[in-house]
Structure 1
Amino acid sequence: MQIAGFGVEAWLNAHEREATTDISQSSVSALTMAEVTSLDGHGGQQFYQQLNQSRLDYGWIEGSPKFKRLVSGLYTQVPPENVLQTNGATGANQLAIYSLVEPGDHVIALYPTYQQLYDIPKSLGATVDYWHIREDHDWLPDINELRQLVRPNTKMILLNNAMNPTGGLLDRAMLEQVVAVAQAVGAYVLADEVYEPLDGTPFTSIADLYDRGIAVNSLSKTYSAPGIRIGWTATPDADLADRFRKYRDYTMICGGVVNDQLAVLILQHRAEILERNRQIVARNLKLLTDWVATQPRVSLIAPHGISVSCIKLAVPLADEAFCLNLLRDTGVLLVPGSRFAIPGHARLGYCTDTETLQRGLRLLGDYLTQFD
């Protein structure tokens, strides 16, 4: 099996530990262990008492019944037995694609978004056509292009909704059109939904719209807990969930007793975490957009209340060279747009803690003046 290097992950693996001001990441500012455990209302004592009594065996293989019920409650059409715990959303994407895509299959992937969604199908021998997002259309695709791409034998349509790194969002009306295209040929629709909006923008999961819909999500982005590596697949189709079970046995045994209990605690206190994160998004997005308005060499199509943004750079350097120089000279880390096949841009993770964002924007703004 041959697969392309994973652009964004290779960049972060190489450079994130060099940064003194990291504004490259895609999660809302991560919770501390103390912040999570104190959600029990007893300063963490209740959680740790429960944990101390737990055996460090494999635990619940597919996720505990509490976990599955809590995740099921995020959807209207997904029963708990159709929820499978995975190693983050990356594990969920891998599981779903590995379970369904075979050599010679035809798939369509929204592009450019998260590289995993098109390069894994390619590595499995599928023919992958791109459904392009367009900067001149607020980073949204044209449904007519999808209609032209679909074939009678199309196996799957892969979406990143909302989109990394641009922040574009397919609304319910667009998703309904995608479903109509898929339904006409019996194709599955997988949607990586880890970037659920936090600004009140209405959001609809593909699993609640389509019986062959596969929703992928995790606690990493919107829930500020990437370190526990817990995600899931969710589908209304029981037969499809059973198919995932078979392939899951080859890719993952369990999420781990400790991680499952942390995931349950986070989901039980979802409302408090989302309120915290809405405040971070609102405060930091205003800081970012106000800063962009003062920068002659930066432009931005504002994201839809999600934790990533994609700035456009008007500088006389390739984006990767600019980002390397910026890191070397200031300690500020961005992700070059070329790592997402969006040259001339950079991912700016504005949902880090506010102090880091303010420092990063100040240093970036000062650095850009050398090109004036």
Structure 2
Amino acid sequence: MSPPPPFAVEQWMDKYETTAKYNIAETCCASVSIEELASLCESKTNATSILDLSAVQHYGEIRGSTPLRANLSRLYSSKGGSPLAPDNVLITPGAIAANFIVFYALIKPGDHVVCHYPTYQQLYTVPATLGAEVDLWRSKAENKWLPDFDELKAMVKENTRLIVLNNPQNPTGQVLPKSLLLNIVEFAESKNITVLSDEVYRPLFHGISPVNVDFPPSTLSLGYKNTIVTGSMSKAYSLAGIRVGWIASRNSDIIEQCAVARDYTTISVSQLDQQVAAFALSPDVIHSLLGRNIQLAKANLELLERFIIKHDEYCSWTKPVAGTTAFVKFERDGKPIDAEAFCKALQDKTGVMLLPGNHGFGAEFKGYVRIGYVNRTDIVKEGLEELRKFMRKEYDDLPLSE
């Protein structure tokens, strides 16, 4: 395994988020306290009842607590299909660990991987550090970030081991529709290629309804055994601080391979964290929690849309339909601005934090910034107001991208 290159998104966030006054680069739904989480429960409870304070804090169940895996198996078990057994779920310290474990378990030098792009850098960098050849399946702004299925088919080789998806997509907030997912899975099955879908934003749909023919189901529900999904409590569930993620697959052999790899990275996940996660995903809480976050996303996205309409001579986008992020292109005189200079100057002068797209997602995304719009509404509203003032006073002096 070769040393990984710098993780651009995480390094930018680490450098700037602790000093931001208005963090609208944040990718999590506005985080909740344990007290706030308890208040969302439909049955009477309080914050202290979430944790079993009498439980001895040993390693606990190594692959994950029974209540937590049972709640996750329920979420992935469709009424019309076969249920997902709790044993087909592994608990990890966040989705970032879940993705790493899948790659570490399945990828070896000489393998070929195709990765949906743009996306979280980990999803294509880690396979490359493990010795795989990686091709990027590009989605394009001019096609509303929908990738071309024929291009995917042309990329696949005899040694293609994995197709990696990110659905909903970070940073664009778009989805791979059901018809495309069905084509991907059918094609992968015909070639015996495993599909990994990072679905960390999946429960957060605010611009597309389940009754829509294009509404994307979880990849686990599409009938192909060799599919894997990863997720976490961080993004749609507002609980990044408890560091709980998971790997799920209907193929028990894949789960066992991941469990073997997991032994080298994770003995167990905190019992306390898992108790909070199990509570949040329980039937008495999950609907209120997701309802809160979907309404927050809708309200804040309306604020962002108003800003973009008002500045449409400088801004362009494809309006997100899911997740927490928007990918917005800023231009002047028909040329992309220097996004890094823009983000640095903006935070220095106003305290508003954005993330430059060319830094976090690839040099080709000149002029793009990622905006995280599902923080608390007052932060988003005040941050956009400060951005508006910056656009009026400072924008014309920003350098253009070379």
> Which range, TM-score by smaller chain?
over 0.9
| Equivalence map 1:346-361=2 (5 Å) | 346-361=369-384
Question: Is the alpha carbon distance of 1:358 and 1:150 closer, same or farther for their aligned partners in structure 2, counting shifts above 3 Å?
Answer: same
1:366 CA displacement: 1.3
Report the counterpart of residue 23 of structure 1 in structure 2. Answer: 24
Q: What one-letter code is carried by the residue in structure 2 that aligns with 1:222?
A: A
Question: Which of 344, 350, 354 in structure 2 is aligned with 1:324?
Answer: 344
The separation in 2 between residues aligned to 1:299 and 1:354, in whole angstroms, is 22
The separation in 2 between residues aligned to 1:229 and 1:109, in whole angstroms, is 25
The separation in 2 between residues aligned to 1:144 and 1:58, in whole angstroms, is 48
1:62 CA displacement: 1.1
Checking the alignment, whether the CA contact within 8 Å between 1:198 and 1:274 is kept in structure 2 is no
| Aligned sequence identity (%) | 36
Pair 1:299-2:316 in alignment: yes
Report the counterpart of residue 95 of structure 1 in structure 2. Answer: 101
DSSP 3-state at the match of 1:16: helix
Gaps of 5+ in 2: 397-402
Checking the alignment, whether the CA contact within 8 Å between 1:150 and 1:181 is kept in structure 2 is no
The separation in 1 between residues aligned to 2:237 and 2:74, in whole angstroms, is 16
Question: Which of 221, 239, 247 in structure 2 is aligned with 1:208?
Answer: 221
Report the counterpart of residue 278 of structure 1 in structure 2. Answer: 294
The separation in 2 between residues aligned to 1:177 and 1:203, in whole angstroms, is 12
| Range that drifts further, 126-135 or 304-313 | 304-313
Checking the alignment, whether the CA contact within 8 Å between 1:103 and 1:125 is kept in structure 2 is yes
Report the counterpart of residue 265 of structure 2 in structure 1. Answer: 251
Checking the alignment, whether the CA contact within 8 Å between 1:153 and 1:185 is kept in structure 2 is no
TM-score by length of 2: 0.89
Report the counterpart of residue 66 of structure 2 in structure 1. Answer: 65
Pair 1:46-2:49 in alignment: yes
The separation in 1 between residues aligned to 2:140 and 2:298, in whole angstroms, is 25
Pair 1:198-2:205 in alignment: yes
1:305 CA displacement: 2.7
Question: Which of 100, 122, 129 in structure 2 is aligned with 1:123?
Answer: 129
1:365 CA displacement: 1.4
The separation in 1 between residues aligned to 2:47 and 2:34, in whole angstroms, is 9
Query: Structure 1 stretches (4+) deviating beyond 3 angstroms?
Result: 37-40
Q: What one-letter code is carried by the residue in structure 2 that aligns with 1:354?
A: T
Aligned length: 370
DSSP 3-state at the match of 2:200: coil
DSSP 3-state at the match of 1:367: helix
1:182 CA displacement: 1.2
1:282 CA displacement: 1.2
Gaps of 5+ in 1: none
TM-score by length of 1: 0.96
DSSP 3-state at the match of 1:110: strand
CA-based RMSD of the aligned residues comes to 1.3
Determine which structure has the larger helix proportion and give its number. 1
Report the counterpart of residue 336 of structure 1 in structure 2. Answer: 356
Deviation digits for residues 120-153 of structure 1 (CA, Å, limit 9, x no counterpart):
0000000001100100011111001001001122
The separation in 2 between residues aligned to 1:371 and 1:290, in whole angstroms, is 18
